[in-house]
A = this chain, B = another copy of it.
Amino acid sequence: MPLDRMLGLFETARACMPVVTGDAAPRSDLAGKIIANVFLENSTRTRCSFTAAAHRLGATTIDLLGGTSSASKGETLLDTCANVAAMGVDGLVIRCSDTCGPAAVAGALGLPVLNAGDGKHEHPTQGLLDAFTITEHLGRTDLAGLRVGICGDVATSRVARSNVFALTRLGADVTLMGPPTLAPDDMATLIDGLDMPGTVRVVHEFDPHLEQLNVLMVLRIQFERHGGGGVPDDYRLHWGLTADRAEHLPEDAIVMHPGPVNRGTELDDAVCDGPRSLILQQVTGGVAVRMASLLDCLGG
């Protein structure tokens, strides 16, 4: 995403924040419009966030959820979406396991499509909301020199990928951290050729890097994606952000997590609920960023 568009989204999101928190009246930009949530993979959290964003803009929503959709009758994602589009809905929010599925649908149908997570590929609004949360916290959108660690289950994480793209675009230097099984070296090439002002590297140690980080984003261990393999039994010992370990972060460093948190595995309670944590701010900012994204795609 070009820098200008990202900063425009952030500006809209900032204007939407009082609406999200109930300090300003709901908007009616999308009154009378229908957004279809096509969630072929389960994600209550993201679906609710998009739904709240739609409602705050005056739109109504229709849910097509994985296990209960025609997809379970063998229909392709594109056929499912073509049908929903033919019902006259004004936009689609798609969560699916097909890499680039939402982009293919958008290309085929000529309808506004928002990617709510496609396989292990991208989760763009999550990347945007994380970057938005950081810029709001710091009070600046130029992240040159900011050192961001993304720790844990990096390989299967569309969140990590989307964060790398968003944060390096804004100038941050990203360190992907994890054991080789979870953070493969070739992820350092993620932004090769994209002309990003920031950088990305991969390391396989945790403790030595903590004191240099301004932001530490702890990823969820997605046990459901690993089927038992790949995640070390002593994960917390080596890679969990324990209360002790968090002591080694600089005093003003912040901790983030896309949720839902495996408390006591990748993150200790004391850190999750402590003063460094911006986890709930991420959630609130997420609705604002999704309002901005809906306005960007469907508004005006």
Contacts and interface: CB of A to CB of B under 8 A. Distances in A.
Nearest to A43: B70
Interface string A72-104: 011110011011101111100000000000000
A283 B56 contact: no
20 contacts: A21-B88, A22-B90, A34-B55, A34-B56, A42-B68, A44-B68, A45-B70, A48-B84, A51-B62, A52-B87, A52-B89, A55-B62, A74-B262, A75-B259, A75-B261, A79-B260, A83-B260, A83-B280, A86-B281, A87-B287
Given A36-B48, A52-B34, A260 B88 contact: no
A80, A90, A283 — most chain B CB neighbours (10 Å): A283
A189 B64 CA distance: 39
A280 B75 contact: no
A89 to B, nearest CB: 6
A9 to B, nearest CB: 18
Given A80-B260, A87-B284, A88-B287, 11 more contacts: A20-B87, A20-B88, A34-B55, A34-B56, A36-B48, A44-B70, A45-B70, A74-B262, A76-B263, A83-B280, A87-B283
A19, A44, A51, A281 — most chain B CB neighbours (10 Å): A44
Nearest to A261: B79
Contacts of A34: 52, 55-56
A237 interface: no
Contacts of A70: 44-45, 259-260
A161 to B, nearest CB: 20
Interface string A1-34: 0000000000000000001111001100000101
Contacts of A224: 73
One complex includes copies of this chain to the number of 3
A178 interface: no
A32 B90 CA distance: 21
Interface string A35-65: 0100000101100110110011000101011
B287 A83 contact: no
A127 interface: no
A69 interface: yes
A117 interface: no
A240 interface: no
A198 interface: no
